[in-house]
Chains A and B, each alone.
Chain A
Amino acid sequence: MIGAGPAGLCAAIAARDMGARVTCVDSGDRPGGQLVKQTHKFFGSRGQFAGKRGIDIARILAARIEDDPMVDLMLESTVIGFYDDGAIGIEHGDCLTFLKPERIVCATGASERMLAFPGNDLPGVYGAGAVQTLMNVHGVRPGKAVLMVGAGNIGLIVSYQLLQAGVEVVAVVEAMPQVGGYDVHARKIQRAGVPILTSHTVKAVHGTRIVEGATVWALGSNFQPIPGTERCFQVDTVCLAVGLTPLADLLWQAGCRMAYIPELGGHVALRDENYETSRPGVYVAGDLAGIEEASSAMIEGTIAGLAAARSLGHSRPDFEERLATARAELAALRAGPKGEKVRRGIDRLMRLGREVGIVA
């Protein structure tokens, strides 16, 4: 398993439960990936720990593999190369080691998107996830006053967490005419007095050495900025929550067939129902397979882990049942209007997969 976030950990648990030996490699210093900074309670179903906070889910999942002789957890270890013979190179400190697993589940997650505006490179313009790490993992406030860019779930949740950490959030701007995240998250910050400016974007961020302020302006119906609508905010931090894109470098190296699917966040690997890519024995799961949520990442990891172990000849009596349950839970998570975009993206991905014979 490359990555010990929600997808990688669930893949490790599922494959181990089937009787496979597992090595789980992660660049972080603790298992859990980005769960380790999620202080909010999760939605979804009980199977994916609804009602529990991400920080606790990370501990629960990690406890299921820690001290298990079948699972080797390699932390502070970065996979830096995928070689033609199927070996992967792992950097740990000043050491480079090689591993040649029979199956690989790639669950490297995603990186944050940038937004183009003057001053976007000034210190103080930070990814929303970075701000979350700084304050929720390391206990340091990112600044005194923050402008949040993006009203998807990440922008809304991190805004609330900034307030919890005692940081002022002057406003949330969102280019779309409506809030992208769940209403419950939006209402929480609105109740706290934070305005959400829809159909607005950043015009520029000001400052000589660090962020000293930001100007936003309104967008017309075709996303053209409207001159004369500028508003200035005195902030020392601008937080970008404008989406994620899969961290797919290893898949490109592995020669997996990729497709650009905007609904899934960018380039993703073509894969079958079991999340196996065009390179036999290489599976994907989590945000790398298409940007969604931690809940879906956990289920995808379970499916990939079960399938990878099964293909090695491992099994257990409830294998079929577990796989069917996972598929049903995933479909339930993606049902409803908020899952429409993801469903559309996956439909396209599967259609492309059928065209090239990856999907039956």
Chain B
Amino acid sequence: MTDARITTHPILEFKEGKKVTFTFDGREMEGYEGEPIAAALHAAGVRVLRESPKLNRPRGFFCAIGNCSSCLMTVDGRPNVRVCTEKLREGMRVETQRGKGVLLAND
């Protein structure tokens, strides 16, 4: 999809999943179903995932395995989602998180 995707590798073979469409801050993007949201964003050239709550510094992912909470984003209106492990699905609404995030009332 982009040149960030590895297509040939001496050891590994990457099977492409089903292509899905999602939005990042309203912009339509493509990724593969079931891959982490952060991988799809990174492949599309998006590195800044949120802003730090106090100093509004840009933040990307750091550990990529769900430990460190550097990659918290708002997904389908829900804040503080670790996008390095959260799997991409068709139609997801992914947004840069600013601040600590606001919990929605139960509906």
Q: Quick check: which of A130-138, A177-185, A280-288, A336-344 contacts chain B, the rest being far away?
A: A130-138
User: Is A247's CB within 8 Å of the partner chain B?
Assistant: yes
Chain B contacts to A: CB under 8 angstroms: 3-6, 9-12, 14, 35-36, 39, 42-43, 47-49, 52, 57-68, 84-85, 87
Which of B6, B14, B47, B65 meets A123, CB within 8 Å?
A: B47
User: Is A129's CB within 8 Å of the partner chain B?
Assistant: yes
Q: Contact: B64 with A129, CB < 8 Å?
A: yes
Which of A53, A112, A164, A210 meets B63, CB within 8 Å?
A: A112
B103 to chain A, nearest CB (A): 14
Q: Contact: A122 with B11, CB < 8 Å?
A: no
Interface flags, A109-139, vs B, CB<8A=1, else 0: 0011000000001111111011101111011
Interface residues on A, range: 35 or more
Q: Could you show 11 A-B contacts with beta carbons less than 8 Å apart?
A: A39-B12, A122-B58, A122-B60, A127-B68, A133-B64, A138-B36, A139-B12, A140-B4, A165-B6, A166-B6, A247-B67
Which B residues are in CB contact (< 8 Å) with A127? 62-64, 68
Which A219-263 residues have C-beta < 8 A from chain B? 247
Cα distance A247–B64 in the bound complex, in angstroms: 15
Which A residues are in CB contact (< 8 Å) with B68? 111, 127
> A140-B6, A141-B4 in contact; A123/B64 too (CB < 8 A)?
no
> A126-B61, A140-B42, A210-B47 in contact; A53/B11 too (CB < 8 A)?
yes
B87 to chain A, nearest CB (A): 8
Which A residues are in CB contact (< 8 Å) with B59? 121, 123
Cα distance A29–B62 in the bound complex, in angstroms: 19
Which A residues are in CB contact (< 8 Å) with B87? 29
Inter-chain pairs besides A55-B12, A135-B6, A140-B42, 14 sampled, C-beta below 8 Å: A34-B65, A112-B63, A121-B57, A123-B60, A126-B61, A130-B63, A130-B84, A133-B64, A139-B12, A139-B14, A141-B4, A164-B9, A166-B6, A209-B47
Which A1-54 residues have C-beta < 8 A from chain B? 27-29, 34, 39, 53
Which B residues are in CB contact (< 8 Å) with A130? 61-65, 84
